[in-house]
Amino acid sequence: MKTFDYDAIRLLPKKSVLKSRREADTSVTLGNHTFKLPVMPANMATVIDENLAEWLASNGYFYVMHRFQPETRFDFVQNIQSKGLIASISLGITDGEYALIDQFKEAQITPDYITIDVAHGHSDYVIKMVTYIKENLPDAFLIVGNLGTPEAIVEIEAAGADATKVGIGPGKACITKDKTGFGTNGWQLAAIAQCAQVATKPIIADGGIRHNGDIAKSIRFGATMVMVGSMFAGHDETPGDLIEQDGKTYKAYFGSASAYQKGHSHNVEGRKLLVPYKGPIQNTLTEMEEDIQSAISYAGGRDLNSLKTVDYVVLTDY
């Protein structure tokens, strides 16, 4: 099996048809809605909170709220939908999560997007949850993760997922490969390519995005959108206090399977690190948009579709 990752790939330019990069359209449709960028912040406690979720929804960006304050999710959905905004939440697969689905059904409230968020999404118990959600909240757009193989994509799509999320262990706060020996760390982009070959529904590339150019590369190899953790952590709007160290300013970024998030030390697969403080998140989103517009121009097109067919080289020294 040939493997490669983001750093080994260079996309090859085609003749541009744009007078200005500002003409390039970076919008993407997922389910019934169209968003400004093919990018979403990771559903992690140090990346998003309810305030940022509402800001993103109000400004045309997709988001997935995390599941680590489980008791707030019902009110969150009710509140954000009362403002005419999209509700997008995460669920686990433990018994209590079924009760939340029942609560939504009884109240006749359907979150617009639900993401099943577990480490190993290719699981009988994930399939059971997919089935339950599709039976009880059929109008919710269901994203299921995380997966890392074509077999998993085929089975989870067949179970009823509307989109799948690919990436086992490429995240910056991740220690899965060291703790278990498993995952797509080091070959995440090739894993996306393999999964995309069998996928009939959108794929979200999750983890390992270190540069804005990695967004274009993800789309070239089959992703519809990307999920970004560490690059979104550290902003004014992301959760956490500023930390001063050696004259520099940081914010904490910790894995959802870190002892810090779990509150215990069993089955830890994540770590805590500091990321540089980055100021307002709008600046980062604008830079991403401009870089994706440039990428579309290099691809010789007018929108994200043009990225899907560009040629590329694999650098052999990696």
Ligand X SMILES: NC(=O)C1=CN([C@@H]2O[C@H](COP(=O)(O)OP(=O)(O)OC[C@H]3O[C@@H](n4cnc5c(N)ncnc54)[C@H](OP(=O)(O)O)[C@@H]3O)[C@@H](O)[C@H]2O)C=CC1
Ligand Y SMILES: Nc1nc2c(ncn2[C@@H]2O[C@H](COP(=O)(O)O)[C@@H](O)[C@H]2O)c(=O)[nH]1
In the bound complex, what is the minimum distance in angstroms from residue 269's beta carbon to ligand X?
4
Each residue 21-60 as x (binds ligand X by CB under 6 A) or -, in order, gives: ----------------------------------------
In the bound complex, what is the minimum distance in angstroms from residue 41's beta carbon to ligand Y?
9
Each residue 85-124 as x (binds ligand X by CB under 6 A) or -, in order, gives: -------xxx----------------------xxxx----
State yes or no: 309 annotated in a binding site: no
176 binds ligand X (CB under 6 A): yes
Of residues 211 through 240, those in contact with ligand Y by CB under 6 A are 227-230
In the bound complex, what is the minimum distance in angstroms from residue 120's beta carbon to ligand X?
4
**Candidate list 30, 86, 174, 295, residue with the active-site label:** 174
Catalytic site residue 174? Answer: yes
168 binds ligand X (CB under 6 A): yes
256 binds ligand X (CB under 6 A): yes
Q: Are 219 and 38 in contact (CB under 8 A)?
A: yes
146 binds ligand Y (CB under 6 A): yes
- Which of ligand X, ligand Y, none does residue 172 bind (CB under 5 to 8 Å by kind)? ligand Y
Binding-site residue ranges for NADP(+): 203-226
